[in-house]
Amino acid sequence: MSEAGGGRGFGSSVPQRAPWSLVAAAAALCLVSATSVWTAGASPMSREEKQKLGNQVLEMFDHAYGNYMEHAYPADELMPLTCRGRVRGQEPSRGDVDDALGKFSLTLIDSLDTLVVLNKTKEFEDAVRKVLRDVNLDNDVVVSVFETNIRVLGGLLGGHSLAIMLKEKGEYMQWYNDELLQMAKQLGYKLLPAFNTTSGLPYPRINLKFGIRKPEARTGTETDTCTACAGTLILEFAALSRFTGATIFEEYARKALDFLWEKRQRSSNLVGVTINIHTGDWVRKDSGVGAGIDSYYEYLLKAYVLLGDDSFLERFNTHYDAIMRYISQPPLLLDVHIHKPMLNARTWMDALLAFFPGLQVLKGDIRPAIETHEMLYQVIKKHNFLPEAFTTDFRVHWAQHPLRPEFAESTYFLYKATGDPYYLEVGKTLIENLNKYARVPCGFAAMKDVRTGSHEDRMDSFFLAEMFKYLYLLFADKEDVIFDIEDYIFTTEAHLLPLWLSTTNQRLSKKNTTSEYTELDDSNFDWTCPNTQILFPNDPLYAQSIREPLKNVVDKSCPRGIIRVEESFRSGAKPPLRARDFMATNPEHLEILKKMGVSLIHLKDGRVQLVQHAIQAASSIDAEDGLRFMQEMIELSSQQQKEQQLPPRAVQIVSHPFFGRVVLTAGPAQFGLDLSKHKETRGFVASSKPYNGCSELTNPESVMGKIALIQRGQCMFAEKARNIQNAGAIGGIVIDDNEGSSSDTAPLFQMAGDGKDTDDITIPMLFLFSKEGSIILDAIREYEEVEVLLSDKAKDREPEMENEEQPSSENDSQNQSAEQIASSSQEVDLVDQESPEESSLNSHPESLSPADTDNAASISPSEQNSNPTENHETTSLDGECTDLDNQLQEQSETEEDSNPNVSWGKKVQPIDSILADWNEDIEAFEMMEKDEL
Ligand code: DMJ
């Protein structure tokens, strides 16, 4: 046992919680007591079923962790499709996502305390020994300070916290002598040079061996970081200080938080997404509760809980008040501008915000937590997982899903707060979906596209650190966990830190509040945890009654803009001009446009364009109305354009040894059998001769009754379809002739008809980029008989196939090679061109179009406000909410039809403008990812 700094050093024993630390423990205590509140509503789940589900979670964890240890360790992460370790530098770079990988066996460290929570004490003991034996923290690798802090420092501290708890119990870890803590301290010192800025905000990256700014370090020239990156250190750094007595870590984390607090936008009390670490200027002035900011808020509240320092609660409450005022638009949480917080900055939400209902539970604000959680659940029910980003009307905006745990986290906290068995059913659905759609023979694979069910060769460490903890604890009774979980607080990576730290080495705590804090008149803010007496006043159906109205929120979304119009009708005020009502021949409308600073430009080709100069508006309110009008117009166009776009389709290889696990994202055709509405075609594949399918086939006997493979090029898609159909094919797959093209990097491709009547084509036709196409061609070479399913979405594996796959090791190796073939589609460069002969004849050159992304449409980018975020408004014009809405819809359709000038959305958007918009979307999202993910 070792002591440090004269304090309760190194956590060599577990002190009892001091009486006054009730403040810190309050949140946890309240969560426990709340479980008894539920008495009616959803049917209770039996103890047996809960145990069954708990055991299922254990089995799933074994599958993920076992495969990591067997096939990837000591690499940082498992690549579950190719069943090998991801070693940085040996795989094609994925950009900033790779900054989490420091060649320090990331997944093992991130899994340490999960092992104890899941009652795998023996495995924990082994894992700790491996960390101590194998992990090197001195690698010449540039890593993210944020990720290294939450995953590695947090993982080591969580491991240490539970190691000393076990040691204290007297059975396991008797040999343990704070070695994990020593490693944590070593890592802490390695991160400190990142804080060498005048502001005290850390650089976003550091070289583990060489630190920062030395030439060998290859980092240190960055000027910006994300708010969450700079504001998510206090729990780990304070724990490190308090465990070791070395106060420097807590000091640095506090300084960074103090600086962020100073820099908050003073009138809105919001913070932006990225900040200049030298000047403190906001670089991105949009503000939400998801990517880039999320855990900054989380750590303010949890720092109060862990450290008992009132100033953190007061800061949190001030921000929370602003969030509820501007960002929360129940059930939505929408980014706004920090300077103009009434103006939305985006029309979509990201998946990271799913943690927020959990935080609201901790805060004690249950109603909005239930609402947002229910909205998210509806999105999940539609897509099986939460897409990385989705629009305000719940369309997929960014289709990936890297098995993020935030929704499970909120589900767990809501269950603890309400005791409502509904949340157990939600957890059950999460388990089912993971097993059905993400489970592969060698672990769990991230979803590349939730719409098609295709996979990515990726299993992030947070999946083991967080997902399994929350799912297990959801179904666990107190006696199913070997220690009292309420004695700990979860970090943002779900690592466990003991609440008794609040009374240990607390030299830095500031007990006094400053006069800077906003007076909040809402008595809600007095609470630090749910007061169940008040939240559920004699009403056991409380949570259910809040959820009920949201049940159809996804299917029948009611755009906010329409609600605003309704409101102004009710209040008798004159509604602002709506884009769909606008008529270019109506002088009154033209007058309103002018007031809003919007001018009309009549182009020579007959089109009309709109330009807004806010400065020319009659007032700032008119300017805002103008922005809203422009955004509505863009969305109206985009909506109409989208109606002509088909969603992606799936080609699923179902024969041995693939058994449905290989799902390829395919482009649809605007002709032939429509694979939506649950239609599908299944058959063996055969290459056509000639391979381009441009003339009558010379091998009809080979393609008869099969799905023909044809190469892109030389003639129209429709002509290829007719030739294979005449030869008796039941479907066709066109494979791109641009070598190296892939759905990973190219926008969805849609095959257009030939401009003539294509009703004679009755078979389904799909398009695969070259990388995906070669997976099928390779499979034919290796297995000869390859059967595929063409559908709108990957189907479950068939039970008999599940059985077939189990027994022989020969099968295993074949499975593996099948997955290896599949994984070859992962990393490629964008190579994408239209075949000239096809594009020249295509009536819709935009067939090369992004799926489900928001585009500006008839208004060309140059005419939009130069700051794209300035333009964003949340209105969306589809939906079927109210009579009023329908009325407006019908009215506008009639008016548009009768007015040739108002054909905004019907114009074809030039391809370069579509791509520019799409790239802008990607850049915005990549920026967001860079900021935090
Ligand atoms: C985790 O690493 C942490 O929860 C972090 O705060 C944000 N996102 C990932 C998981 O999605």
Mean pLDDT calculated for residue range 21-30: 32
Q: What are phi and psi of 398, to 5 degrees?
A: -140, 115
Distance (Å) from CA 869 to ligand 1 centroid: 25
Quick one: pLDDT at residue 627?
80
Cα(748)–Cα(914) distance, rounded to whole angstroms?
12
pTM, to two decimals: 0.68
CA angle 275, 920, 202 (to 5 degrees): 20
Mean pLDDT of 243-247: 97
> Strands 443-444 and 439-440: what pairing?
antiparallel
Give dist(CA 672, CA 209) in Å, integer: 59
Quote the CA–CA distance of 536 and 531 in Å, as a whole number: 9
Model pLDDT, residue 870: 30
**pLDDT at position 19:** 25
Residue 223 confidence (pLDDT) above 90: yes
Range with lowest mean pLDDT among 39-53, 297-311, 657-671, 688-702: 39-53
Give SS3 for 373.
helix
* Residue range 124-178, pLDDT digits in tens: 999 999 999 999 999 999 999 999 999 999 999 999 999 999 999 999 999 999 9
Whether residue 317 has pLDDT greater than 80: yes
Smallest CA separation from ligand 1 atom 10, residue: 404
- pLDDT for 743 equals 82
Q: Which residue has the higher pLDDT, 649 or 565?
A: 649
Nearest alpha-carbon partner for 827 in 385, 441, 451, 448: 448
CA distance 405 to 385: 11
Which residues on adjacent β-strands are paired with residue 445? none
Distance 9 CA to ligand 1 centre (A): 30
Q: Quick one: pLDDT at residue 258? A: 98
pLDDT for 606 equals 45
Secondary structure string (H, E, C) spanning 455-519: ECCCECHHHHHHHHHHHHHHHCCHHHCCCCHHHEEECCCCCEEEHHHHHCCCCCCCCCCCCCCCC
Q: What is the Cβ-side half-sphere exposure of residue 321, based on CA atoms within 13 angstroms? A: 18
- b/e map 674-698, b = 16+ CB within 10 Å: ebeeeebbebbbbbbbbebbbeebe
For residue 94, give Cα distances in angstroms to 7, 88, 457, 506, 829.
44, 10, 12, 41, 12
- Measured distance CA(432)–CA(425) in Å, rounded: 11
| Calpha distance 509→241 (Å, rounded) | 12
Question: Do residues 257 and 300 make contact, with C-beta atoms less than 8 angstroms apart?
Answer: yes
Segment 54-66 mean pLDDT: 98
For 614-639, what is the mean pLDDT?
76
Q: Which of 123-132, 297-306, 330-339, 789-798 has the lowest mean pLDDT?
A: 789-798
Q: Does position 910 have pLDDT exceeding 70, yes or no? A: no
Specify the ligand 1 atom closest to the Cα of 232.
Answer: 6
pLDDT digits (tens, 9 = 90+) for 626-636: 887 887 787 77
pLDDT tops 70 at residue 508? no
CA distance 790 to 906: 31
| Protein residue with least CA distance to atom 3, ligand 1 | 493
> Can you tell me the distance from the alpha carbon of 346 to that of 635, in angstroms, rounded to the nearest whole number?
12
Distance CA(636)–CA(559), nearest Å, equals 12
- Predicted local distance difference test score (pLDDT) of residue 806: 40
Please check whether residue 254 is in contact with residue 307, taking contact to mean a CB–CB distance below 8 angstroms: no
Q: Which atom of ligand 1 is nearest to 298's Cα?
A: 6
Maximum alpha-carbon separation in the chain: 88
SS3 of residue 316 by DSSP: helix
The candidate with the shortest Cα–Cα distance to 422, out of 542, 533, 320, is 542
**Is the Cβ–Cβ distance between 127 and 108 less than 8 Å?**
yes
CA atoms within 13 A on the CB side of 786: 25
Sorted by sequence, the CB contacts under 8 Å of residue 481 that are 6+ apart come out as 117, 119, 473
Structural contact between residues 201 and 228, judged by C-beta atoms closer than 8 angstroms? no
Rounded Cα gap, residues 891 and 898, in angstroms: 11
Cβ atoms 31, 530 nearer than 8 A: yes
Give yes or no for a contact between 180 and 128, defined as CB atoms under 8 angstroms apart: yes
Query: Which segment, 442-446, 651-655, 853-857, is predicted with the most confidence on average?
Result: 442-446
- Token reading at 621: 């309110």
Residue whose entry in the numeric block shows the structure tokens 């309400």 = 418
The predicted structure's pLDDT at residue 566: 34
The H-or-E segment that residue 822 falls in is helix 809-823
- In this prediction, residue 626 carries a pLDDT of 82
Place of tokens 């986290």: 409
CA angle 216, 221, 226 (to 5 degrees): 125
- Residue 383 CB-density burial (10 A; 0-12 exposed, 13-18 middle, 19+ buried): buried
What SS3 class is residue 419? coil
Least confident of 124-133, 390-399, 522-531, 652-661: 522-531
Ligand 1 midpoint to CA 145 (Å): 14
pLDDT of res. 620: 77
**Under a CB-based contact definition with an 8 Å cutoff, are residues 346 and 872 in contact?**
yes
Candidates 363, 185, 367, 345; CA nearest to 268 is 345
Whole-number Cα distances in Å, 521 to 315, 525, 610: 15, 8, 44
Provide the 10 A C-beta neighbour count for residue 863. 15
Q: Where are the beta strands (DSSP E) in 120-199?
A: 142-144
What pLDDT was estimated at residue 679?
82
Average pLDDT value for residue range 306-330: 95
Instruction: Over range 405-418, report the average pLDDT.
Output: 97
CB 816 within 8 A of CB 782: no
Instruction: Work out the pLDDT band at 652, boundaries 50, 70, 90.
Output: very high
The average pLDDT across 880-895 equals 32
Q: Which amino acid is at 433?
A: N
**Atom of ligand 1 minimally distant from the CA of 404:** 11
Strand-pairing partners, residue 86, are: 77
Of 106, 400, 404, the one to substitute when testing ligand 1's pocket (max ligand atoms within 8 A of C-beta) is: 404
| Sign of torsion over alpha carbons 529, 533, 538, 540 | positive
Cβ-based burial of 897 (10 A; exposed 0-12, middle 13-18, buried ≥19): exposed
743 or 705: which leads in pLDDT: 705
Buried-exposed string 423-447: b where 16+ CB fall within 10 A, e elsewhere = bbebbbebbebbeebbbbbbbbbbb
Residue with CA nearest ligand 1 atom 11: 404
Inform me whether the pLDDT recorded for 123 exceeds 90. yes
pLDDT score of 885 more than 60: no
Q: What does the pLDDT look like over 91-108, one tens digit per residue?
A: 999 999 999 999 999 999
The answer on pLDDT for 371 being more than 90 is: yes
Q: Closest ligand 1 atom, CA of 295?
A: 6
With contact defined as beta carbons under 8 Å apart, do 814 and 657 qualify? Answer: yes
Residue from 111, 143, 352, 931 whose mutation best tests the ligand 1 pocket (most atoms within 8 A of CB): 352
pLDDT band at 748 (very low <50, low <70, confident <90, very high): confident
CA of 176 to the centre of ligand 1 (A): 29
Q: At residue 55, does pLDDT exceed 50?
A: yes
Residue located nearest, by CA, to atom 6 of ligand 1: 492
State how far the Cα of 274 lies from the Cα of 249, in Å rounded to an integer.
23
What average pLDDT does range 867-884 have in this prediction?
28
Residue-level pLDDT at 762:
94
* pLDDT for res 834: 31
Tell which wins on pLDDT, 124 or 213: 124
Distance, in Å, from the CA atom of 336 to the CA atom of 343, rounded to the nearest integer, reads: 6
Atom of ligand 1 nearest to the CA of 461: 2
If one residue of 462, 463, 495 were mutated to test the ligand 1 pocket, choosing by the most ligand atoms within 8 A of its CB, it would be 462
Cα of 503 from ligand 1 centre, angstroms: 28
Q: Under DSSP, is residue 245 helix (H, G, I), strand (E, B) or coil? A: coil
| Interval between CA 205 and ligand 1 midpoint (Å) | 17
Q: Measured in angstroms, how far is the CA atom of residue 492 from the centroid of ligand 1?
A: 6
Helix (H) or strand (E) holding 535: helix 532-535
Radius of gyration over every alpha carbon of the chain, rounded to an integer in angstroms: 29
pLDDT surpasses 70 at 549: yes
Which one, of 532, 615, 492, lies nearest residue 231 by Cα? 492
- Can you give the pLDDT at residue 889? 35
Task: For residue 447, report the phi and psi dihedrals to the nearest 5 degrees.
Answer: -85, 130
User: Taking residues 861-872, what's their average pLDDT?
Assistant: 30
**Residue 639: per-residue pLDDT:** 62
- Rounded CA separation 648/660 (Å): 18
CA of 356 to the centre of ligand 1 (A): 12
Nearest to 338 by CA among 260, 277, 390, 394: 260
Q: State the pLDDT at residue 303.
A: 97
Coil, helix or strand at residue 411: helix
Residue 567 is predicted with a pLDDT of: 39
Q: Specify the DSSP element, H or E, that contains 183.
A: helix 179-191
pLDDT > 60? residue 826: no
- At 713 the pLDDT is 87
Report the pLDDT value the prediction gives residue 888, as an integer from 0 to 100. Answer: 30
Structure confidence at residue 425 (pLDDT): 98
- The per-residue pLDDT for 393 is 85
Ligand 1 pocket by C-beta < 6 Å: which residues? 150, 295, 352, 404-406, 462, 492-493
pLDDT at 527 over 70: no
Query: What's the 45 CA to ligand 1 centre distance in angstroms?
Result: 30
Among 99, 147, 150, residue to substitute to test ligand 1 (most atoms within 8 Å of Cβ): 150
Reference 452, options 400, 377, 402, 403; nearest CA is: 400
Which are the catalytic amino acids? 147, 294, 388, 406
Please write the tens of the pLDDT for every residue from 224-233: 999 999 999 9
Which sign does the torsion angle of CA 138, 144, 145, 151 carry? negative
End-to-end CA distance of the chain: 38
Q: What pLDDT, on a 0 to 100 scale, did the predictor assign at position 495?
A: 98
Contact 165, 500 (CB under 8 A): no
Point out the ligand 1 atom lying closest to the alpha carbon of residue 294.
Answer: 6
The answer, yes or no, to whether residue 506 has pLDDT greater than 90, is: no
Before 530, cis peptide (omega within 30)? no
**In whole numbers, what is the pLDDT of the chain averaged over residues?**
79
Q: Taking residues 859-876, report their average pLDDT.
A: 30
pLDDT at 373: 97
As a whole number, mean pLDDT of residues 422-427 equals 98
Please state, in angstroms and rounded to a whole number, the distance separating the CA atoms of residues 611 and 404.
Answer: 41
**CA proximity to 35, closest of 525, 478, 568:** 478
Inter-residue contact 688 to 727 (CB < 8 Å):
yes
Higher-confidence residue of 748 and 447: namely 447
